[in-house]
Amino acid sequence: MSGDANHMSGDANHMSSDASFAQLGLSEVLVSAALTQGFSTPTPVQQQAIAAVLQGHDVQACAQTGSGKTAAFALPLLQKLQLLEQDSLGRQPDMALILVPTRELAAQVGQVLRDLAQALPRRCKVAIVFGGVSINPQMMRLRGGADVVVATPGRLLDLVTHNALSLSDVQTLVLDEADRLLDLGFADELNRVLALLPPKRQTLLFSATFPPAVQALAASLLHQPLLIEIANTPQTQPAITQRAIAVDAAQRTQLLRHLFKTNGWQRVLVFVATRYTAETVAEKLYKNGIFATPFHGELSQGARTQVLDEFKAERWEVVVTTDLASRGIDIAQLPVVINYDLPRSPTDYTHRIGRTGRAGETGLAISFVTADSEAHFALIEKRNGLALVREQVEGFEPKELPVKPAVDLAPVPGTGGIKGKRPSKKDKLRAAGLR
Ligand code: AMP
């Protein structure tokens, strides 16, 4: 039961809006750990979450991607673990469990915790577990327990089944990107994990969006939570310029190449609807002298990690990806995001463009709008309160006229929907997101 919720907003007038990390209750060692990572002033979500987490409250935070939410839970969690009593063998039984939707996010969140934990006087073991790679090394690393486990739900359950891990000592549960966890169909796994946790615990739920399924989850899990909503003030709203370019579907790859060459972009993330398109668009660009590579779920875990690392290291100029990269992946200073294919839902649009303009940087998000996808883009605009001019680029003026869809929620050509097939669970969830 959620009980009475305490509400705080991201209002700049709030009392604690100017508090330093130390004033929020973080110990000297964690303040300096934050500083080592370049965090000198708390972001709004950190302003609100840190003291509440330290005081043991449940938290329900609606925070946009790039808001600094990882450190908002990581810093107070690490402090709490530092203060716990150890048993006679120097072990402390309490554990924090952080559930995330994707392998990449597990690796990223785990790394933030490890970086922050480096300077702590007492060793803090952070285990990162996710599927798609061999389970044995993860089992080995869990020997002797862990203070923090960052996990995707499926692999976590596998490890419990193999007796590599017990969840009975979990004192703090964090659900990160809860909306995405449910979107990806993790509801069953999530319920099985929840059934293994002690009922008395602190629970923190972070989500960029709060559709009914996430609200229901929050209501069932959180006890008198502190509600944090980060208002879209200029401070938190990343400076993302959004543009829409009308173009014929068949001209998109050439337009992409043209824009890349004429704008002198260094690094671009391009979103497409399918793995096949990711492969073919990347290949065409590569053949035309642009260092482009695909990124999607069919690549091995090793290949995915490598692509992200190389992209961060500026070895690739363009990464062409499916929605796999639309959430949680933090690539600092990513200046341009292109929607080659439109996302299926308005929420996915928000997540995709959130890959740029992170942590105060400026960004540019361009959507290619074709005759077939015009009606769908209008819907995305409406849901996100946007009204973008359909620009035209000389030499790429569209010749096809926008078509009106027969049915509002019919899968949009070019967004991965398959006509004539029964909608999958994912399709239904996405359709619900469009309403
Ligand atoms: P997150 O929303 O957790 O993915 O964080 C987004 C980005 O903000 C990451 O690159 C963090 O390193 C950065 N960040 C988090 N907290 C702060 C802070 N207090 N000051 C500056 N940058 C931060």
Specify the ligand 1 atom closest to the Cα of 37: 12
Which residue's CA is the closest to the ligand 1 atom numbered 18? 39
Contact (Cβ atoms closer than 8 angstroms) between residue 78 and residue 119: no
Q: Is 407 a residue whose pLDDT tops 70?
A: no
Label residue 5 by pLDDT band (50, 70, 90).
low
- Ligand 1 pocket check: which of 26, 35, 43 to mutate, most ligand atoms within 8 Å of Cβ? 43
- For ligand 1, the distance from its centroid to the CA atom of residue 355, given in whole angstroms, is 13
Specify the ligand 1 atom closest to the Cα of 41: 19
Minimal CA–CA distance to 412: which of 322, 345, 337?
345
pLDDT digits (tens, 9 = 90+) for 292-312: 999 988 888 888 888 888 888
Residue ranges per domain, the chain?
6-229, 239-391
Q: What residue ranges line ligand 1, CB within 6 angstroms?
A: 38-39, 41-43, 46, 66-71, 330, 332, 358-359
Rg (CA), the chain: 22
Specify the ligand 1 atom closest to the Cα of 65: 2
pLDDT digits (tens, 9 = 90+) for 220-267: 999 999 999 875 544 445 578 889 999 999 999 999 999 999 988 888
- For ligand 1, the distance from its centroid to the CA atom of residue 66, given in whole angstroms, is 6
**Can you give the pLDDT at residue 76?**
96
pLDDT digits (tens, 9 = 90+) for 34-76: 998 888 889 889 999 999 999 999 999 998 767 889 999 999 9
- For ligand 1, the distance from its centroid to the CA atom of residue 361, given in whole angstroms, is 11
pLDDT digits (tens, 9 = 90+) for 128-140: 999 988 999 999 9
* Edge-to-edge strand list for the sheet holding 390-391: 292-295, 318-321, 268-271, 336-339, 362-369, 239-246, 390-391
Average pLDDT, the chain: 83
Residue-wise DSSP of 71-136: HHHHHHHHHHHHHSPP-TTS----EEEEE-SSHHHHHHHHHHHHHHHTT-SS---EEEE-SSS-SH
- For ligand 1, the distance from its centroid to the CA atom of residue 65, given in whole angstroms, is 10
- For ligand 1, the distance from its centroid to the CA atom of residue 68, given in whole angstroms, is 4
Model confidence, pTM: 0.62
Higher pLDDT, 401 or 254: 254
User: Which CATH code for domain 239-391?
Assistant: 3.40.50.300
- Which tokens belong to 386? 């946007």
- Ligand 1 pocket check: which of 114, 358, 361 to mutate, most ligand atoms within 8 Å of Cβ? 358
Q: Say yes or no: do domains 6-229 and 239-391 share a fold.
A: yes
User: Which CATH code for domain 6-229?
Assistant: 3.40.50.300
Cβ atoms within 10 Å, residue 137:
10
**Can you give the pLDDT at residue 357?**
67
